[in-house]
Chains A and B, each alone.
Chain A
Amino acid sequence: MNSKELIKELCETTAVTGHEANIVPLLKSAFEDYVDDFQIDKLGNFAAVKKGSSNKEDPPKILLAAHMDEIGLMVKKIDENGFIKFSTVGGIDPRTLPGQKVKVHGKESITGIIGAMPPHLLSAEDMDSKAYKLDELYVDTGYSEEELKQIISIGDVISMDRELLSLHNDYVSGKALDDRAGVLMMIEAAKELQRLNHEIDVYFVATVQEEIGIKGAITSTYDIFPDLGIAIDVCHGLMPGVNSSEASKMNEGPTIALGPQVHQDIFALLKDEASKRSIPYQIETNNSPFGTDAAGMQIARSGVATALISIPLRYMHTSVELISLNDVKYGAQLLASSIAAIDDEFLEGLRCY
């Protein structure tokens, strides 16, 4: 599969936070030709492991993390007319929901729509000033209460039903690019590493439950306890109304983060490799360590040196997220060549302050 086909498969597969097992078979087949082993841990984090050339008894490890979970909704009550009231799983803006097609995953997956009142029945004042609130929204599946309750239970997850669209210029748009784009970058990095020599063992980890508290990164890093780790996530892409201090340009390369969650040596390594290989990149400043798996990785056990690479993305947490596949491609090249450049001296230096 090429990148476009793969990202389409990745995005259109459902894996709402807490229910990620569904996407694992796809990941296995995507990584299969490039790695030596697979592991799944107790919370469902999926690791594809590629051995390095080090012949030490306890080889050094690098952990790459991209989260496989996507935000979604959850059935919280079925009313007597068969309408589904729902809660959010992860940071969903209720205003993006009216008019959205969804899939409700019970004993089978059924289609529904999140209803919106027609303009004819609303006052101009309502439409101008009142944003939809979560409690006013519901999913309409067409079924009656009795029929629905045969298929759906309280607690079943609901995902956005959206196909991935190809726009001009290698831009793609759809749901769950946060962070399937990161997962794609890991797969492409694994492919790139086929032709490079690297000493360090590489753990490509698709983490769980990032959207509700970076939980998979916390436990998976404790478990694997690598020498260093790099998180791969998305960051905001420039668009009207957003400051250039808060967002990065689209299609000018992935961003390398600079902030409390980033170890200065890894930052320097990534920057140097990007310059050496003429890989386009941007710098992203973070005044807080939180917001991605890097935060969870950094404080595992007695500490892990971490860094963060991000893919600029517009319209985050909507079902029309948008990225440039070029940014992913460059990120994968950057990761692969940086991994190949890691040697013992670099690793020993991580503790030197």
Chain B
Amino acid sequence: MLLEKLINATGISSREKEIRDLIREEIKDNVDEIYTDKMGNLIACKGKEKDGQKVMLAAHMDEVGLMITEITSDGLLKFQSVGGIDKRVLVSKPVLVGEDKMAGVIGAKAIHLQKKSERDKPIDFDNLYIDIGVNSKKEAEKYVELGDVAVFSSEYEELGNGRVIGKAFDDRVGCSIIAELTEYDFDMPVYYVFTVQEEVGLRGAGVAAFDIAPDIALVLEGTTAADVPENKEHRYSTSVGKGPALTLMDRTVIADKNILTGLIEVAEDNGIDYQFRRTDVGGNDAGAISLSREGVPSAVISLPCRYIHSPLSLIDLDDYSKMSRLVKLYLERLARKGI
């Protein structure tokens, strides 16, 4: 299954090669044209010659991860985050380092050795190290270079009830849905865009949008679901199992009213569960695309994911198929009726 392959593959911001190659292999025979640009965005299109609104579908290929910034004399690796990671999820986790995906661990001082005052405070990046099992800086330098990247070593795994865990659902779910949509034909020009460097500032999307100059954009994302104990209902943002989430407003974009209305109508007419994304924090590629050139009406549809930007997130496969169906039906409506 494509989603599984994408989750298990590695691609942090600006190092998206594995993801890009996977997607390209998957979709190249379905589309008319496929190319990359100077930043590494992967852009495919179908129906360029057709009439109708030019649609840009976008999902980002990159995930958050770590970059090696120093090798200590003991051969331990110091690092910084690439994209936003809560440092508290890092300690005591296995990682995969470099292109060869070497095993490493982010160790913690044993609790026996900690002072009571230390145990109350989160461990800072300065005191976290990746251990790859070498004895000296010289030995480490045989395997790692400054600037190499590391990701969480979590694999795609199915739980009970149609739920799945893994890393990087944000935004491999979006990539997977868009890739799957290339199997269909729509009656208008459609650009399937797999962007880079979203997690470090929505960097790839604006560049791709400038090149394509779409009339409408739909961004498919993985977003926070905080429907968990100790949280109040009005702060859930989204809930797992209640269908795809439609953004009203986040820190970077206010969803276009016409597109939003269209999506709601399609969902209701076809009995597809949906919810609203009920917090306004965070941003995504729509923030960059919507302000490109003279402006592009844009909307964001997201899959609820618990625990995003951590080693293990959780999604519902039923939500996934509902989201996919919603987007497909909306595109069909768009081709018929326009925005």
Contacts and interface: CB of A to CB of B under 8 A. Distances in A.
A351 interface: yes
Contact of A303 (B37, B69, B82): B37
Contact of A285 (B146, B203, B206, B208): B146
A243 B126 contact: yes
Interface stretch (B13-21, B96-104, B175-183): B13-21
Interface string B47-82: 000000000000000000001111000000010111
A263 B146 contact: no
B81 A263 contact: no
A350 B146 contact: no
A318 interface: no
B201 A290 contact: yes
A260 B67 CA distance: 11
Interface in A214-233: none
By secondary structure, the A interface counts as: loop
A353 B82 CA distance: 21
A269 interface: no
B38 A283 contact: no
Interface stretch (A93-101, A204-212, A294-302): A294-302
A244 B78 CA distance: 10
A260 B36 contact: no
Given A285-B69, A353-B36, A260 B210 contact: no
A129 interface: no
Nearest to A306: B38
Interface in B198-217: 200-201, 203, 206-208, 210-211
Contact of B80 (A245, A299, A304): A245
Contacts, number: 76
B197 interface: yes
Contacts of A150: none
Contacts of B208: 302
Contact of B203 (A245, A299, A302): A299
B134 interface: no
Contact of A299 (B35, B126, B207): B207
Interface string A259-291: 110010000000000000000000101011110
Given A304-B38, A352-B36, A289 B146 contact: no
B37 A351 contact: yes
Given A260-B197, A351-B37, A283 B147 contact: yes
A278 to B, nearest CB: 20
A15 interface: no
A259 B203 CA distance: 13
A243 to B, nearest CB: 7
A303 to B, nearest CB: 4
Nearest to A302: B211
Contacts of A259: 14, 67, 147
Contacts of B37: 302-303, 351
B283 interface: no
Interface string A132-166: 00000000000000000000000000000000000
A258 interface: yes
Interface in A319-353: 350-353
A305 interface: yes
Given A285-B68, A287-B69, 6 more contacts: A245-B70, A285-B67, A289-B201, A299-B207, A301-B210, A350-B38
Interface of B: 13-14, 17, 20, 35-42, 67-70, 78, 80-82, 126, 146-147, 197, 200-201, 203, 206-208, 210-211
- Give the 7 A-B CB pairs with smallest separation, nearest first: A258-B147, A245-B70, A260-B14, A302-B211, A245-B69, A303-B207, A287-B80
